[in-house]
Amino acid sequence: MCFSATASFSAGAFLLGLGTLTLKSARRPREMPFAAIPLLFAIQQLSEGVIWLTFHYEVPLLNAVMTHVYSFFSHVLWPVYVPLAVLLIEPPGWRQRALLAFVAAGIAVGVYLLYFLVAFPIVSRPIGLHIEYVSPHFFAVVAMTLYLLSTTVSLFLSTHRTVKVFGVLALLSFAAAYYFYAIWFISVWCFFAALLSAVVYLHFLPRITILKEANS
């Protein structure tokens, strides 16, 4: 398997369309963050498409900017955003209280990784038909554990079946990406997770179908 600007742009374009449908189907403001996940992944994938182009056309400044844009999503946004988006669509009760702990874990690892993105600017480079993102930081095991808890395990607490499925698939894709593509793990897992965010569409599919029927 290889990735390229075409793959990133294609995934981004697909998720833009899908994400627009899911966002339009959100009935309440509290549903909008979860509905926006495919759109946010679209932006991240499009930014990686630009990174691929900077290698070909040798634009180091644009490469540095887009590498940090992409890394903000992968390192900072997702561990905070995902558990919070899940918390917002849950009814009051113990699940919401438990999800607060995952939000706290996400904030902790997000702030920690943000510090290292600023202190040690991340570098992207094409190796073996993939992009490697190099960003040194300490306590990698602890950081990765908190990251996984916030971005995947938190979804297991949801009362919604599709949200749980998304969490399971995200965790399995993490294992596959780490096992087969350890060097390029960040790029590959984000690509897999972006495609898997189509599950968010399934969460809103009944409403999307009703909207289409109402407009026909």
**Cβ atoms of 98 and 157 closer than 8 Å:** yes
Q: What confidence tens digit (pLDDT) does each residue in 55-68 have?
A: 999 999 999 999 99
pLDDT per residue over 138-196, tens digit each? 788 999 999 999 999 999 999 999 999 999 999 999 999 988 888 888 899 999 999 99
The owner of tokens 């400044």 is 61
CATH code, residues 5-215: 1.20.1070
**What token pair was written down for 88?**
């917002």
Taking the C-alpha atoms of residue 6 and residue 209, their distance in angstroms, rounded to an integer, is 30
pLDDT (tens digit, 9 = 90+) per residue, 67-76? 999 999 999 9
pLDDT for the residue numbered 107: 98
**pLDDT over 80 (residue 89):** yes
Q: Please give the average per-residue pLDDT across 207-216, as a whole number.
A: 54
**Spatial separation of the C-alpha atoms in residues 78 and 66, rounded to whole Å:** 17
For 1-43, give the DSSP string. Answer: ----HHHHHHHHHHHHHHHHHHHHH--SGGGHHHHTHHHHHHH
Angle between the 37-57 and 60-71 helix axes, to the nearest 10 degrees?
160
pLDDT, one tens digit per residue, over 45-56 is: 999 999 999 999
The mean per-residue pLDDT over the stretch 21-28 comes to 89
Mean pLDDT, rounded, of the chain: 91
The predicted structure's pLDDT at residue 1: 40
Q: Domain coordinates of the chain in residue numbers?
A: 5-215
pLDDT band at 133 (very low <50, low <70, confident <90, very high): very high
pLDDT band, residue 135 (cuts 50/70/90) = confident
Q: Is residue 112's pLDDT more than 90? A: yes
State residue 205 phi and psi, 5-degree precision.
-55, -45
Q: Is 131 helix (H, G, I), strand (E, B) or coil?
A: strand
Is residue 39 very low, low, confident or very high in pLDDT (cuts 50, 70, 90)?
A: very high
Within 8 A by CB and 6+ apart from 35, the residues are: 19, 22, 23, 25, 26, 200, 204
